[in-house]
Amino acid sequence: MRLNDSPRHQEWVKVKSGDHSVEAVLVFPEVSHKALAVLVIHENKGLTDWVRGVADRLAEEGYIAIAPDLLSGKGPKGGGTSSFQSEDEARTAIYTLEEEHVLGDLDAVADYVVGLPAANGKVVVGGFCWGGSSSFLYATHRKDLGAAFVFYGGAPQSPEAIGRIACPVYGFYGGTDNRINSGIPVTEDLMAKAGKRYEPVIYEGAGHAFMRKGEESGAAEASRVSRSAAWKRWLSLLNSEPVKSE
């Protein structure tokens, strides 16, 4: 398993957010320079080992990755994702989170990670499924984001919200995921009218959650190929203008 075999420094941190704390997994790269921070937003299942693995992969590529558990304090006895008895329970809890609460927690975690001595002071966001939608939402909220990477998530439909975006938004979508993809033309129109940079790519043959499903045992070929292509694109974008880390 990636997490068990990783040579990189990983730690759990607690970040103060208003009157509560957010637990997050923080993974450092093995580099000699200050690094770009990547804020990773989990799926609607909460902070799973798969998301922690994504953070580790990003650190392997030279980035400081932090993945907050946005269910912190929302589980049984005040626990987070791991305190729920099933993914279904965690998923139900996710959809009770208020927008302002999520944005506040993301701000707290972003402020924390860009303030680390090893960070270069710049942060980008990337998320999956519910986290993809949250990444797009976060781009409408935080002015100093370097970029937002939206993996099969929806977009805000308000021209006012879109108008507040100050960074490029890159979309990653599965070709058979029309529940999400049907909204892309509207998003393209809103972003174009607002003069915002939005670059969606559809990976043919892949379904929803192909980044996770593509690495599972017995994964469909389209999911495996799409996952590999999406990772290649993501890493290329992270190292490009205006996103690059140095």
Cβ-contact 32, 78 below 8 angstroms: no
DSSP annotation string for 68-98? E-TTTTTSGGG--GGGSSSHHHHHHHHTT--
Q: Where are the domains of the chain?
A: 2-238
Predicted confidence (pLDDT) per residue in 81-120, tens digit: 999 999 999 999 999 999 999 999 999 999 999 999 999 9
pLDDT of residue 4: 77
Cβ-contact 174, 206 below 8 angstroms: yes
Q: Which residue has the higher pLDDT, 8 or 224?
A: 224
Cβ-contact 200, 192 below 8 angstroms: no
pLDDT of residue 89: 98
pLDDT of residue 246: 44
- Helices 99-114 and 130-139, axial angle in degrees (round to 10): 70
Cβ-contact 71, 81 below 8 angstroms: yes
pLDDT of residue 6: 84
Residue 27's beta-bridge partner residues?
10, 65
Put simply, whether the predicted model's pTM sits higher than 0.85 gets the answer yes
What kind of fold does domain 2-238 have according to CATH?
Rossmann fold (3.40.50)
pLDDT of residue 236: 96
Predicted confidence (pLDDT) per residue in 186-242, tens digit: 999 999 999 999 999 999 999 999 999 999 999 999 999 999 999 999 999 999 866
